[in-house]
Amino acid sequence: MVDRDAGPVGDLAGQPGAEIIEADLEGNAPWPLPGRTFAAVVVVNYLHRPLLPRLTGSLEDGGVLIYETFARGNERFNRPRNPEHLLKSGELLEAARGKLQVIAYEHGIDDRAPLPGVKQRLCAINAASSPDRDDGEPEPRPVFPN
């Protein structure tokens, strides 16, 4: 886990498979994970557009990106309200285009969430080594893997 304040997840420290890195990803400090790739990258309620290429590039072959954050229209519900901190329609899809195979995408009002609002959600796979089909598309993957 990478966050500028690791305090809220401090109870994970020392747990098997858990690595906590305290870093400000928006500052001028170097990328805290140089040369590393991951089986999964999960982003929730966070948007810093300059990181999008870094995040998609941090996936190992077959790695999964799960991304959920607020989108335009959220200003009617709660924070964030600044349009610069809200995704534009289809923005996560555009970040994945040509890099990842999109498995699922949603954009709309989620009034059941702990933080209700307008959300965008993306689940996509780094299919870099998938054999290309004649039409240039990656091979389809099972919707319900075994």
**pLDDT tens digits for range 123-133:** 999 986 666 66
Reading the chain (146 residues) residue by residue, the pLDDT tens digits are 788 888 888 888 888 888 888 888 888 888 898 999 999 999 999 999 999 999 999 999 999 999 999 999 999 988 889 888 999 999 999 999 988 999 999 999 998 988 889 999 999 999 866 666 677 666 676 666 66
* Cα radius of gyration (the chain): 17
Contact 34, 12 (CB under 8 A): no
Question: Closest Cα partner for 136 from 103, 109, 98?
Answer: 98
pTM summary value: 0.84
Domains located in the chain, CATH noted? 36-125 (3.40.50.150)
Task: State residue 129's pLDDT score.
Answer: 63
Contact 125, 100 (CB under 8 A): yes
Round to whole Å and give the CA distance between 85 and 122. 17
Tokens (6 digits) for 60 = 């190992």
Task: State residue 130's pLDDT score.
Answer: 61
* Alpha carbon distances (Å) from 77 to 62, 80, 109: 36, 9, 10
